[in-house]
Amino acid sequence: MTGWLITGAGGRLARELTALLPAHTTTALTREELDLTDAHAVDEALAELRPSVVANCAAWTDVDGAEEHEGAALDVNGHAASRLAAGCARVGARLLHVSTDYVFSGLDTDGLPYDEDAVPDPHTAYGRSKLAGERGVLMALPDDGVVVRTAWLYGAHGRSFVSTMAERALSDATVKVVTDQYGQPTWTRDVAERLLVLGSGPARPGIHHATASGSTSRYELACEIYRLLGRDPALVSPIVGADLGCVAVRPAWSVLGHRRWSLEGMSPLREWRSALREALPAVTASPTLGRALCAN
């Protein structure tokens, strides 16, 4: 066994995780280097590398595109994840599979976080494809399959809502942001560190929610970014989600509970404001601040 295999290595979370691991025992493969929809290539890679841990960060993440190409999204997020899990079972590898808050409807109005054991009810093609992957992983690897749901990711790599707001703030630009979408802005570094824990030591199979503690609306998040960057939050104007015209309906309530960490003797991820304050310098230093108003 040779250590870690990271799929989808070009993505923002995968790059954070790769940076935390020893280079000599880690193989990080981009989509071009390992296409998970190519079953033969996946089997060959697992047989050759024989990793102890596989972190599946590869995914179809285009939420709007999934509505128009649900079959293609299902191939990547569902079928390919299930086959990867079966391959991990054959070589005795633990699989950390990254999933999403979109497996829930986001329509709940009781104001309570979704528990790890809450019944999924996806209302988007993207959510349905990710739920299929979760189920395939847990079925193939009941003792070594770990599903890690996260949400509202941002970091030093790739595009995100946070990078877009930071770009607008640094330009002293006005921006309209929705007030009716609530969630947990989550720094990729914090998730990567938790993946490292889940991949080490005793197996902790099942579902974990790796999102920041607390919750906020996208509008409040944008205002906080402007404040932290020394800009006037009054430049941020409130609108409702329907005004954005996104193809897929974004969940209005994407707050995940963290009961599982307590059961395992660990604290949940830190509060979102604390993480954002520390992360912003890396976000603003990124050479490609992205535009993501219809955020995933």
Instruction: Show the tokens assigned to 170.
Output: 């640094």
Instruction: Show the tokens assigned to 256.
Output: 């995940």
126 is catalytic: yes
Radius of gyration of the chain (CA): 18
Q: Name the β-bridge partners of 238.
A: 177
Cα–Cα distance list, 229 to 164, 175, 176, 187, 293 (Å):
13, 15, 18, 17, 19
Give the position of tokens 């940076």.
Answer: 19
Which of these, 123, 127, 103, 125, lies nearest to 115 by C-alpha position? 103
Which residue out of 126, 154, 182, 226 is catalytically annotated? 126
Give the position of tokens 């979704």.
Answer: 114
Burial of 219 (0-12, 13-18, 19+ CB in 10 A): buried
Burial 41-77 (b: 16+ CB within 10 A, else e): ebbebbeebebbbbbbbbbbbbbbbbbeebebbbbbb
Residue 77 has what DSSP assignment? I
Provide the strand spans (E) within the chain.
4-7, 26-29, 53-56, 94-100, 145-150, 153-154, 175-178, 182-183, 186-187, 206-209, 216-217, 236-239
Q: Catalytic residues, which ones?
A: 126
